């Protein structure tokens, strides 16, 4: 589904996040849910711009990393600081405060979004506009919807039609389209009467709407579709590859995957065939290697089509940091870029290396292994988080604690949930309440949220 990302949080329903565990922020035509309460608290309620949210007697305030109250809990709701300002709610209206607690934008809006590059979306009277960090109205609230700015322009809907505005609010593309995509590489896809075309930043039509699909531009190329056939155009609107393929991958720093006659291969940016379609499936190139499937098994090829890892694995994950994850008969291991086995496939689950360690699951238990495959942290835990700032959350006997990279228990398992560390503090949950601890496991704020 196409995602027109709005830098806005539907604050009208945010109060339900704390009690109802509906962890999401709003995107145009999409909602992204956080995977856990801990993820929500570590990203939204954790330390942001040096301050963290607290809740006292149903009122929100802020503390610093030492636990000192910087902004007294007087607000009905609050979100984390971004660009030095935080959204706060008084009664049923939203405004902004600075890091001293001073109200810099009076609470009068129905919905607001965090600031990004000095601007924030606001809604009042059911219409969207844009303000700057002083509260000055840059774009009068008159639009039905506004997308996020990209390359200095934002899609804006007026009376059911989409166009584009610049950062001063000037209309650069008149609202006349059924739908639009954000600008990428100075071009934007626009839809009219069921067909897609291209416009530039002056509003000049580069391609009249004639395609059934036009994607984002990447390194000067975009994939297009006419009916069920796919090809590629360049940023002048010329068809570099005529729509003739059954499917196609977007070009990302290398050959593009194309499907023809039920098989996948690769072409270069001119349309020249690099790998004749012969594979059952392919992945995009990453770190100069692409996953390919043949006869039900996966391996890897390089950019010339040379087989580097013979297809023999049941599943794979692309290379990251020189290592790929591979599955053989339901067990996961790790290989290097030459195909050499670094960790024998024997684990029920395994992760990419982070801070030098990989999270591994064996017989239903979790631990960490190093790049030689040695178990650095004994595989004995019921659950485990990846390392952040040298510490990882671990679950034992239904409770969460903390371990360091040697496996030493830093904080005994006693919490119902725990989030990742950010600048030395982490959110923890106990008896239904959230607070903050430091790396020694000491409370800097007792659980109240």
Residues 99-112 have pLDDT tens digits of: 999 999 999 999 99
Q: Which residues pair with 43 in a beta bridge?
A: none
What's the burial of 104, exposed, middle or buried (CB within 10 Å: 0-12/13-18/19+)? Answer: middle
Give the Cα separation of 358 and 377 in Å (integer): 10
Q: Which residues pair with 8 in a beta bridge?
A: 26
Give the Cα separation of 345 and 313 in Å (integer): 10
What's the burial of 426, exposed, middle or buried (CB within 10 Å: 0-12/13-18/19+)? Answer: buried
Report the 10 Å Cβ neighbour count for 182. 20
* Cβ contact 433:442 at 8 Å: no
**Residue 8, pLDDT above cutoff 70:** no
Give the Cα separation of 372 and 67 in Å (integer): 41
* Cβ contact 152:135 at 8 Å: no
Instruction: Look over the chain and give the mean of its residue pLDDT values, rounded to a whole number.
Output: 88
Structure tokens at 242: 């005529």
Q: Which residues pair with 331 in a beta bridge?
A: 328
Question: Which residue shows structure tokens 């590059």?
Answer: 117
Q: What are phi and psi of 269, to 5 degrees?
A: -75, -10
Strands 52-56, 59-63: parallel, antiparallel or unpaired by DSSP? antiparallel
- Average pLDDT, integer, range 367-390: 92
CA neighbours within 13 Å on the CB side: how many for 432?
Answer: 2
* Cβ contact 105:129 at 8 Å: no
Q: Where are the domains of the chain?
A: 1-148
C-alpha pair distances (Å), 373 with each of 74, 189, 322, 352: 52, 48, 15, 12
Closest CA to 7 of 31, 26, 32, 35: 26
Each residue of 307-334: pLDDT tens digit? 999 999 999 999 999 999 999 999 999 9
* Cβ contact 396:381 at 8 Å: yes
pTM score, whole prediction: 0.78
Closest CA to 221 of 209, 212, 206, 231: 231
**Residue 124, pLDDT above cutoff 60:** yes
Each residue of 250-298: pLDDT tens digit? 766 678 999 999 999 999 988 999 999 999 999 999 999 999 999 999 9
Give the Cα separation of 414 and 392 in Å (integer): 14
**Residue 30, pLDDT above cutoff 90:** no
Give the Cα separation of 284 and 291 in Å (integer): 7
Structure tokens at 442: 């000491």
Each residue of 61-98: pLDDT tens digit? 999 999 999 999 999 999 889 999 999 999 999 999 99
End-to-end CA gap in the chain: 35
Share of the chain above pLDDT 90, in %: 77
Radius of gyration of the chain (CA): 26
Q: Which residues pair with 236 in a beta bridge?
A: none
Give the Cα separation of 336 and 343 in Å (integer): 9
Q: In b/e form, how buried is each residue of 133-145, taking b as 16+ CB within 10 angstroms?
A: beeeeebebebeb
**Cα 84-128-215 angle, rounded to 5 deg:** 90
Give the Cα separation of 172 and 164 in Å (integer): 6
Question: Which residue shows structure tokens 């939203």?
Answer: 94
DSSP helix, strand, coil percent of the chain (3-state; round to 5)? 5, 60, 35
Give the Cα separation of 405 and 158 in Å (integer): 54
**Residue 5, pLDDT above cutoff 90:** no
């Amino acid at each position: 589904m196409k995602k027109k990302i709005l830098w806005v949080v539907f604050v009208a329903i945010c109060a339900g996040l704390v009690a109802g565990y509906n962890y999401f922020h709003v995107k145009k035509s999409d909602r992204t849910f956080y995977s856990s309460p801990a993820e929500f608290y570590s990203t939204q309620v954790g330390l942001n711009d040096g301050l963290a949210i607290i809740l006292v007697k149903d009122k929100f305030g802020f503390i610093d990393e030492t636990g000192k109250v910087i902004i007294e809990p007087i607000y009905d709701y609050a979100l984390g600081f971004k660009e030095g300002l935080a959204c706060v709610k008084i009664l049923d209206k939203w405004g902004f405060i600075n890091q001293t607690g001073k109200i810099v934008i009076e609470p009068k809006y129905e919905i607001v979004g965090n600031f990004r590059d000095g601007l924030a979306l606001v809604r009042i009277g059911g219409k969207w506009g844009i303000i700057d960090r002083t509260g000055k109205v840059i774009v009068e609230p008159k639009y039905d919807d506004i997308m996020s700015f990209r390359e200095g322009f934002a899609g804006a809907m007026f009376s059911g039609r989409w166009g584009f505005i610049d950062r001063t609010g000037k209309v650069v593309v008149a609202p006349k389209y059924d739908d639009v995509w954000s600008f990428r590489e100075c071009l934007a896809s626009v839809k009219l009467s069921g067909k897609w075309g291209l416009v530039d930043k002056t509003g000049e039509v580069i391609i009249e709407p004639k395609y059934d699909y036009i994607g984002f531009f990447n390194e000067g190329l975009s994939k297009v579709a006419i009916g069920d056939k796919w090809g590629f155009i360049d940023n002048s609107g010329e068809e570099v590859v005529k729509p003739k393929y059954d499917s196609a991958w977007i070009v990302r720093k290398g050959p593009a995957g194309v499907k023809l006659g039920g098989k996948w291969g690769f072409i270069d940016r001119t349309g020249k065939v690099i790998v004749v379609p012969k594979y059952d499936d392919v992945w995009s190139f990453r770190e100069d290697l692409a996953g390919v499937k043949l006869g039900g098994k996966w391996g890897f090829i390089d950019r010339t089509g040379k087989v580097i890892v013979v297809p023999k694995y049941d599943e794979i994950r692309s290379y990251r940091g020189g290592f790929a994850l591979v599955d053989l008969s339901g067990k996961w291991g790790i290989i290097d870029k030459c195909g050499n086995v670094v960790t024998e496939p024997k684990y029920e689950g395994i992760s990419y290396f982070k801070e030098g360690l990989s999270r591994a699951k064996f017989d239903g238990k979790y631990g960490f292994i190093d790049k030689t495959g040695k178990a650095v942290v004994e595989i004995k835990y019921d659950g485990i988080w990846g390392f952040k700032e040298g510490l990882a959350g671990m679950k034992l006997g239904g409770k969460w604690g903390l371990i360091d990279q040697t496996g030493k228990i830093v904080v005994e398992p006693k919490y119902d949930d725990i989030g990742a560390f950010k600048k030395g503090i982490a959110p923890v949950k106990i008896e239904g309440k959230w607070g903050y601890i430091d790396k020694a496991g000491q409370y800097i704020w007792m659980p109240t949220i």
